[in-house]
Amino acid sequence: MLTLEADVLAKNNALAERNRGWFAGRRTLALNLVSSPGSGKTTLLERTIREIGSELSISVLGGDQETQNDAARIAATGCKVVQINTGTGCHLDAEMVNRGLRALDPPVDSLLMIENVGNLVCPALFDLGERAKVAMLSVTEGEDKPAKYPHMFRAARLMLLTKIDLLPHLDFDVERCIGQALQVNPRIEVLQLSAKSGVGMDRWYDWVRKEWAAQRQDSMV
């Protein structure tokens, strides 16, 4: 089993490096949004596209086991989107993303958002060639998720604490949650926001702009 897992991950990592080279050659910033189901990934994408889509050319690869529901919501914003259905699979892998890229054909100098399958376990293991994993955690899920699922938060560069507009109605310890995330990954950045109310979204956009500029700079080296 260990040999099989190592072989699978080695093949995936080789394909991820090919994807990374493709992104670099086209000066494309790829962000991998990972979370449990219901954290608000699609809502975040909808608002992001509406508010900075004219500034940064955005396209989306969406992953779900079944349905085109999220892709339909993204397409309604006018954004180019390709849905990848994994069937029994619990995550996207580098080969799926490579196939999706051929269908999506995102433009040069653009932002690619990868909306991974809702799962805090398997996506942590699979590099897709992205610049960064963005782990989303909603305040409706409980503040102990970083401690329960450490591999995901260790793999992420950024944690988005979402749905903070609901905090007055919940028993959720924000400081404990952030403390657990930092204990798992001392280098993780944390932003608090609500894609519904708009609170904190400017800080998210600033982070994306910073990463986009860094990706372009790295691509020119």
Q: Which CATH number do you get for residue 115?
A: 3.40.50.300
Residue 153 CB contacts under 8 Å (≥ 6 apart), including other chains: 135, 145, 146, 159, 181, 184, 185, 188
- Does the structure show a pLDDT above 90 at 219? no
pLDDT value at residue 94: 97
Question: Which pairs with CB-CB distance under 8 Å and at least 24 residues apart come from 201-209?
Answer: 201/47, 201/48, 201/51, 204/44, 204/48, 204/160, 205/48, 205/51, 205/52, 207/158, 208/29, 208/31, 208/48, 208/52, 208/56, 208/111, 209/56
Say whether 89 sits in a helix, a strand or coil.
coil
Q: The sheet that has 58-64: what strands, in order across it?
A: 80-85, 58-64, 110-115, 28-35, 132-138, 158-162, 189-192
* pTM of the complete model beyond 0.85: yes
Task: Name 110's bridge partners.
Answer: 28
53-90: pLDDT as tens digits? 999 999 999 999 999 999 999 999 999 999 999 999 99
pLDDT value at residue 8: 79
Output the average pLDDT for the chain.
Answer: 95
| pLDDT mean over 91-119 | 97
Q: Greatest CA separation found in the chain?
A: 49
Task: Name 61's bridge partners.
Answer: 82, 114
The parent domain of residue 205 ranges over: 2-220
Band (141; pLDDT cuts 50, 70, 90): very high
pLDDT value at residue 1: 47
Band (218; pLDDT cuts 50, 70, 90): confident
Domain count, the chain: 1
Cα–Cα distance, 159 to 44 (Å, whole number): 13
